[in-house]
Chain A
Amino acid sequence: MSRLDIHKTYKLYIGGKFPRTESGRYYAVKNKQGSLIANMCLASRKDFRNAVVIARKAQTSWGNASALNKGQILYRIAEMLESRKEQFIAELITQGEEAAKAKNEVDLAIDRLVYYAGWSDKYQQIFSAVNPVASSHFNFSNLEPVGVVAIVAPEEQSLLGLISMIAPAIVGGNSIIVLASESKPLTAISFAEVLNSSDVPAGVVNILTGKRAELTSQMASHMDVNTIVYCGKDAAVIKNINELASNNLKRTIFYKKNDWTSEESQSPYFIEKMQEVKTTWHPTEI
Chain B
Amino acid sequence: MFPNLNNLPVYDTTGVNERVKRFCSRSIKKSSKVEGLKLAMSMIDLTTLEGKDTKGKVEQLCYKAMHPHDVLKDIPKVAAVCVYPSYVGVAKKALKGSNIQVASVATAFPSGQSNLEVKLNDTKFAVDQGADEIDMVISRGAFLAGDYQFVFDEIASIKEACGKAHLKVILETGELDTLDNVRKASEIAMYAGADFIKTSTGKIQPAATMQVTYVMLDAIKDFYLKTGKMIGMKPAGGISNSKLALQYLVMLNEVLGEKWMNKNYFRFGASSLLNDVLMQLVKAETGLYQSPNYFSKD
> Are A and B in contact, CB atoms below 8 Å, in the complex?
yes
Cβ of B17 and Cβ of A286 under 8 Å apart? no
Q: Is the interface of B mostly helix, strand, loop or mixed?
A: helix
Q: Which residues of B contact A135 (CB under 8 A)?
A: 14
Say if the beta carbon of B50 comes within 8 Å of chain A. Answer: no
- Choice from A283, A284, A286 contacting B178 with Cβ under 8 Å: A286
Most buried by A among B13, B14, B178: B14
Say if the beta carbon of A137 comes within 8 Å of chain B. Answer: yes
Q: Which residues of A contact B15 (CB under 8 A)?
A: 283
Q: Which of A246-286 contact B (CB under 8 A)?
A: 283-286
Cβ of B178 and Cβ of A136 under 8 Å apart? no
Residue ID in chain A nearest B16 by CB atoms? A285
Say if the beta carbon of B12 comes within 8 Å of chain A. Answer: yes
> Could you write out 12 A-B pairs with CB less than 8 Å apart?
A135-B14, A136-B17, A137-B14, A283-B13, A283-B14, A283-B15, A284-B14, A285-B13, A285-B14, A285-B17, A286-B13, A286-B178
Residue ID in chain A nearest B12 by CB atoms? A283
Residue ID in chain B nearest A137 by CB atoms? B14
Q: Which residues of A contact B14 (CB under 8 A)?
A: 135-137, 283-285
A137 to B15, CA, bound (A): 11
Q: Which of A121-148 contact B (CB under 8 A)?
A: 135-137
A137 to B13, CA, bound (A): 11
A136 to B14, CA, bound (A): 7
Q: Which of B1-31 contact A (CB under 8 A)?
A: 12-15, 17
Query: Which residues of A approach B to under 8 Å, CB–CB?
Result: 135-137, 283-286
A285 to B15, CA, bound (A): 9
- Measured CB to CB, the closest approach of chain A to B196, in angstroms, equals 27
Residue ID in chain B nearest A135 by CB atoms? B14
Q: Is the interface of A mostly helix, strand, loop or mixed?
A: loop
Q: Which residues of B contact A286 (CB under 8 A)?
A: 13, 178
Q: Which of B255-287 contact A (CB under 8 A)?
A: none
- Measured CB to CB, the closest approach of chain A to B257, in angstroms, equals 28
- The 10 A-B pairs with the shortest beta carbon distances in the complex, nearest first, are A283-B14, A285-B13, A285-B14, A136-B14, A286-B13, A283-B12, A286-B178, A283-B15, A285-B17, A284-B14
Given A136-B17, A137-B14, 12 further pairs, Cβ under 8 A: A135-B14, A136-B14, A283-B12, A283-B13, A283-B14, A283-B15, A284-B14, A285-B13, A285-B14, A285-B17, A286-B13, A286-B178
- Measured CB to CB, the closest approach of chain B to A113, in angstroms, equals 46
Q: Which of B165-201 contact A (CB under 8 A)?
A: 178
Q: Which residues of A contact B13 (CB under 8 A)?
A: 283, 285-286
A94 to B152, CA, bound (A): 89
Q: Which residues of A contact B12 (CB under 8 A)?
A: 283
- Measured CB to CB, the closest approach of chain B to A40, in angstroms, equals 60
A283 to B12, CA, bound (A): 8
Q: Which of B100-131 contact A (CB under 8 A)?
A: none
Q: Which of B200-235 contact A (CB under 8 A)?
A: none
A135 to B17, CA, bound (A): 11
- Measured CB to CB, the closest approach of chain A to B182, in angstroms, equals 12
A283 to B14, CA, bound (A): 6
Residue ID in chain A nearest B14 by CB atoms? A283
A136 to B13, CA, bound (A): 10
A285 to B19, CA, bound (A): 14
A286 to B14, CA, bound (A): 7
Q: Which residues of B contact A285 (CB under 8 A)?
A: 13-14, 17
Residue ID in chain B nearest A282 by CB atoms? B14
Residue ID in chain A nearest B211 by CB atoms? A285
- Measured CB to CB, the closest approach of chain B to A30, in angstroms, equals 69
A285 to B178, CA, bound (A): 10
- Measured CB to CB, the closest approach of chain B to A138, in angstroms, equals 10
Q: Which of B126-153 contact A (CB under 8 A)?
A: none
Most buried by B among A135, A137, A284, A286: A286
Residue ID in chain A nearest B178 by CB atoms? A286
A283 to B10, CA, bound (A): 14
A286 to B13, CA, bound (A): 5
Residue ID in chain A nearest B11 by CB atoms? A286
Q: Which residues of B contact A284 (CB under 8 A)?
A: 14
Q: Which residues of A contact B17 (CB under 8 A)?
A: 136, 285
- Measured CB to CB, the closest approach of chain B to A36, in angstroms, equals 71
Residue ID in chain A nearest B17 by CB atoms? A285
A284 to B15, CA, bound (A): 10
- Measured CB to CB, the closest approach of chain A to B155, in angstroms, equals 27
Q: Which residues of B contact A283 (CB under 8 A)?
A: 12-15
A285 to B17, CA, bound (A): 9
- Measured CB to CB, the closest approach of chain A to B50, in angstroms, equals 34
- Measured CB to CB, the closest approach of chain A to B11, in angstroms, equals 10
Q: Which of B58-77 contact A (CB under 8 A)?
A: none
Residue ID in chain A nearest B180 by CB atoms? A286
A135 to B14, CA, bound (A): 9
Most buried by B among A135, A136, A137, A285: A285
- Measured CB to CB, the closest approach of chain B to A65, in angstroms, equals 33
- Measured CB to CB, the closest approach of chain B to A132, in angstroms, equals 16
